[in-house]
Amino acid sequence: MTPAPSALRVAIIGAGPAGIYAGNILNRLVVEAGHTVAIDLFDALPAPYGLIRYGVAPDHPRIKGIVKSLQEMLDADTIRFIGNVTYGTDLSLTDLREHYHAVIFATGAILDAPLVIPGIDLPGSFGAADFVSWYDGHPDVPLEWPLDATDVAVIGNGNVALDVARILAKHADDLLTTDIPASVYAGLAGSPVTDVHVFGRRGPSQVKFTPIELRELADIPDVDLVVYAEDFTPDSHSEQLVASNNQVKIMTRTLNGWLTKAPLGASRRLHLHFLHAPVEVYGDGRVEGIRFERTEHTGDGGVRATGQVVDYPVQAVYRAIGYRGSALIEVPFDAVRGVIPNDGGRVLDAAGDAIAGLYATGWIKRGPVGLIGHTKGDALETVTRLVADLPVLFAGGAGTANAILALLEERGVEFTTWAGWQALDAHELMLGSLDEVTPGRERVKVVSRAEQVSISRTEALLTL
């Protein structure tokens, strides 16, 4: 019997936390199994880190601190980063199968979950994911955003809804210490907004915020926080939640505390509404308002319609009700759940059988739920199954380390590298240090994809 070769070649599609964690764990487990492994981490963007770079609000540097840990993993030189490469266009599944023993998809969930109500597609109605990409300087989003509304509605009761509302309500000058690009600052500085309303279908005890996200709303300069007594109706299930869950207890105490605080006369207001189910976005040719039906508690954690309808005149609506994964060419996809069908990370075909050599991890595997910490456990589950499949994987062929790069060069793909990212990273840090408006600013993001690629590919930084 011919012994299995010692070197495993794996491609990971997606260089966010899910992909990086999978690569780091894969390296450890394969070595423990007595083999070596070559891991190539591909991303459609020129820079790594995925939603940590392009999905976290710029005024949340504590969350972006996870970048330090991810950077250490890539600095270890056990994972090769190859950016600005689009799966399905620059590389096909056939290409990957020819060059690797296994492929792990870690493409995440970057689309807005749909809200099916009349008028949701009127001009002035937006998905939160697109707005987040804009204020985070995503290279594939236009530089300008239509910020022309004085009154705005944000639908959703999760952290993304709070991020969107906070960025809309905050004065642009209070974001100058962050890494926002000049185009984002200019857009926010010109916003005429006075009132931002956040609406949730359930009650205050059922929100999906985290306590720290909620509490920081009270610290926004020149923004009054407004809550409404009629949204705080008591029910037995909410009381049980408060008694049994410390996080719920903290948030409920915070929200109830705001009921007793009078507005201070700030120039902007951020309103939190509960027990409101969206019914319709209305307007003649563009958003002019949004209609809700009031809900009430059912006593078991749910809510039901009351028949009471209320309208709010607004000129913009942002839906922040969750993310959704995107289908990938030649890869099975569950259109209902927005995920790649899988069994513990092994990709399944239409018959429910595992497809040898294909795996998934992160939100494209389990859906857009859980925090970054859950991503590690998720990656471990997937990689454990991959390692269990080593005898089958080694039975297939694989290319060489430089063959995939030669293929990309032959196709004219201007791929970027880890050394290239280090050059871009240093450039953005330099831009921050040279900012005369805000001395000591850490970073200013480069937005243009072409500029990112140019900086990343200069000075012979393609050594791999």
Confidence (pLDDT) at 242: 86
Q: Backbone phi, then psi, for 227, in 5-degree steps?
A: -125, 165
* 41 among annotated binding-site residues: no
Say if CB 295 and CB 305 are below 8 A apart.
yes
What angle, rounded to 10 degrees, do the helices at 159-169 and 128-135 form? Answer: 50
What value does the CA radius of gyration of the chain take, rounded to a whole number of Å? 24
Block residue for tokens 């991020």 = 163
* 407 among annotated binding-site residues: no
* 369 among annotated binding-site residues: no
* 385 among annotated binding-site residues: no
* 291 among annotated binding-site residues: no
Nearest to 291 by CA among 274, 319, 314, 318: 314
Distances (CA, A) of 303 to 135, 306, 401: 34, 9, 56
* 72 among annotated binding-site residues: no
Residue type, 191: S
Tokens of 22: 């999978």
Distances (CA, A) of 4 to 33, 81, 260, 391: 12, 27, 70, 7
Cross-strand partners of 148: none
Q: CA end-to-end span of the chain, whole Å?
A: 35
CATH topology of domain 7-110+325-413: Rossmann fold (3.40.50)
Instruction: Return per-residue pLDDT of the chain as tens, 464 residues.
Output: 344 556 899 999 999 999 999 999 999 999 999 999 999 999 999 999 999 999 989 998 777 778 888 999 999 889 999 999 999 999 999 999 999 999 999 999 989 999 999 999 999 999 999 999 999 999 999 999 999 999 999 999 999 999 999 999 999 999 999 999 999 999 999 999 999 999 999 999 888 888 888 988 989 999 999 999 999 988 888 888 888 989 989 999 999 999 988 888 999 999 999 999 999 999 999 999 999 999 999 988 889 999 999 999 999 999 999 999 999 999 999 999 999 999 999 999 999 999 999 999 999 999 988 667 778 999 999 999 999 999 999 987 677 778 999 999 999 999 999 999 999 999 999 999 988 778 878 899 999 999 999 999 985 444 44
* 301 among annotated binding-site residues: no
Does 7-110+325-413 match 113-322 in CATH topology? no
* 280 among annotated binding-site residues: no
* 159 among annotated binding-site residues: yes
Nearest to 99 by CA among 171, 40, 160: 40
Say if CB 228 and CB 178 are below 8 A apart.
no
Burial of 334 (0-12, 13-18, 19+ CB in 10 A): middle
* 80 among annotated binding-site residues: no
Confidence (pLDDT) at 4: 52
* 256 among annotated binding-site residues: no
Q: Where are the beta strands (DSSP E) in 161-282?
A: 195-199, 223-227, 268-273, 276-282
* 462 among annotated binding-site residues: no
Which residues, other chains included, contact 58 with Cβ-Cβ below 8 Å and sequence gap of 6+? 135, 136, 167, 175, 178, 179, 180, 184
* 321 among annotated binding-site residues: no
Residue boundaries of the structural domains of the chain:
7-110+325-413, 113-322
Rounded to the nearest angstrom, the gap between the alpha carbon of residue 408 and the centroid of all alpha carbons in its chain is 28
- Does the structural domain 113-322 have CATH classification 3.30.1330.90? no
Tokens of 79: 């994972």
Specify the pTM. 0.92
Long-range contact list for 365-373, CB < 8 A, 24+ apart? Answer: 365/18, 365/105, 365/339, 365/340, 366/339, 367/109, 367/325, 367/337, 367/338, 367/339, 368/109, 368/113, 368/322, 368/323, 368/324, 368/325, 368/338, 372/17, 372/52, 372/66
Block residue for tokens 């009132």 = 195
Confidence (pLDDT) at 6: 62
Confidence (pLDDT) at 1: 36
